Structure 1
Amino acid sequence: MRRDYGGDLLTAAFDIANGFLFKEICICFDNNTTGKEPSSSHKARFFIIILSISATYVINDMYSANLTSLLAKPGREKAINNLNQLEKAMATRGYDLYVERHSSSYSLFENGTGIYGRLWEMMNRRQSHFLLESVEEGVKLVRDTTNKAVIAGRETLFFDIQRFGFILIAEMIYYKHRKKYKRTRRRNKFVYFKKIKNYIVLKVVVFTSRVKRAYRRAMNEAFIATLEYLE
């Protein structure tokens, strides 16, 4: 606020002196009532940093240990599903392959080429014997030892069907329908994903067309307004 002293210099000087005195009193009051400032030395900062890092490390270690104990699963040996995986297992994990004597598989390995020839060569080079008299002997070998694989011929399947009857046939039908169900489910999943993709594409196209129409409308209005302004 600006005062009009009307040319009274003495009154103006008195007011200015009072203002300076009030400021000095406020400064003295602030200096007397100011609390103690926290330490800003390097030792305190270093201690706080070390404490924070230690607490973070301990919490992270506890969380990782608990999470590992919850999610850890016992290790299982990977199944061998085809001849390529069998060849890799024989080369890296030391598997031994056994074949039923007088079976079609034995003839295929003995006279075959490609992967059959490579497996036959590995069997002859590494194993002292690899022929089994029956598939039961191979099953016992696989059950009682480790790193053993057995391949039997097609006639063994016929023998098992004659021996176990409808039980094995039911298992074969079950696995067949299970595979068919998995294929159908996979196909339905792909169809569902395709529908989602088509829906998203449709929405994007509609949104793009709306933006284009709005842009054209705005450009027309701006052009008309420019013409009216020029007229």
Structure 2
Amino acid sequence: MQKKILVVEDNAELSDLLLLHLSDQFWQVDLARDGFTGYKKAAGGGYDLIVLDIMLPGMDGIEILKSIRGMGLVIPVLMLTSKSSEIDRILGIELGADDYITKPFSIRELVARIKSIFRRMENLSVMKKSASEYIIQAGGLVIDPEKRKVTVAGKHVDLTAKEYELLTFFARHPSRVFNRSQLLENVWGYGHDGYDHTVNSNINRLRAKIESDPANPQYILTVWGVGYKFTETDEADV
């Protein structure tokens, strides 16, 4: 099935160039040249990926990303930024962006990153299908992969898309220790150095939501000097 991509970019020359080259990959491309239009189109769903500029008139890319993730939409998002500061990139990733690319960039690199995201999503889809036959349980924590639902002691836990993916990844590899680079590679899909904060902040937020005492976690444990691990099913108790 033909992939459908939404490009939200206010620079007419760049957006037209993206339309041309992404269409050459036999992808269906839709354009939006301001934040409000981009948000409306993204919120309507139906896209396989969104290429989203950060600096937009009306509504910036960070606002759009935060809004669509708040709606529960799990469409992959690749952020475009011309800023030299890493703050926007880190914030975008923590809000649920799947990747970012800094302007100026080559079209070849952008296409390669989009293809990488599509491959990763297809692999996740296969994993979800194989995992949907069983429910993961550790003490009072229950993960229902088919419904993408998490409960602790019978109470629903509201997680962002990345928090859910991180928790599920841990739960499918109980007792295995992962360092931050491995988590970035497996959950975020990249292994850039210098983004330990992304992993740490997501784990801290996840612990705040699933642990009865986040300062003394039962599920996601810190292995000092190495990384993190998820406890075995019979180790955790609420």
> TM-score under structure 2 normalisation?
0.24
Larger radius of gyration: 1
> TM-score under structure 1 normalisation?
0.24
